[in-house]
Amino acid sequence: GEDVEQSLFLSVREGDSSVINCTYTDSSSTYLYWYKQEPGAGLQLLTYIFSNMDMKQDQRLTVLLNKKDKHLSLRIADTQTGDSAIYFCAEWIPNDYKLSFGAGTTVTVRA
């Protein structure tokens, strides 16, 4: 079965790096995603990584994938106040044609 787990809260100082961690269980996952949700808004696709990759970098975002441990992380460099939001990790479940989401990590950026 599939189950995605994330820590619920992260507080970080402006200018520091944020690291959000996620674990997943479905070994058939092909793609893993990070989404951002601001208050009252929908989900914004931040980045994704294919399961045969270890790392992907996109400007301030770095995704690391440890497929052996089924562990995914998102690092945000130089965190800004605009990065305050809920971040969701999601895995694509190919047999069910669906994304399975974690409960989300609320990131608060303090001055």
Partner 1 sequence: DAGVTQSPTHLIKTRGQQVTLRCSPISGHKSVSWYQQVLGQGPQFIFQYYEKEERGRGNFPDRFSARQFPNYSSELNVNALLLGDSALYLCASSLGTLAEAFFGQGTRLTVV
Could you say whether residue 53 binds partner 1 (CB under 8 A)? no
Assess contact for 78 and 60: CB atoms under 8 A: yes
- Give me the 32-51 binding string for partner 1, x by CB under 8 A, dash otherwise: -x-x-----xxxxx--x---
Could you say whether residue 3 binds partner 1 (CB under 8 A)? no
Could you say whether residue 4 binds partner 1 (CB under 8 A)? yes
Distances in Å between the Cα of 93 and the Cα atoms of 1, 57, 73 are 10, 23, 19
* Residue 17 or 28 having the CB closest to partner 1: 28
Q: Rounded to the nearest whole angstrom, what is the least distance from the CB of residue 86 to partner 1 in the complex?
A: 9
Query: What are φ and ψ of residue 105, in 5° steps?
Result: -115, 120
Query: What are φ and ψ of residue 68, in 5° steps?
Result: -60, -45
Tell me which of 30, 57, 66, 108 binds partner 1, using CB under 8 A.
30
Choose one: 11-19, 54-62, 71-79, 98-106; the region binding partner 1 (CB under 8 A).
Answer: 98-106
Could you say whether residue 104 binds partner 1 (CB under 8 A)? yes
Assess contact for 5 and 25: CB atoms under 8 A: no
Assess contact for 34 and 63: CB atoms under 8 A: yes
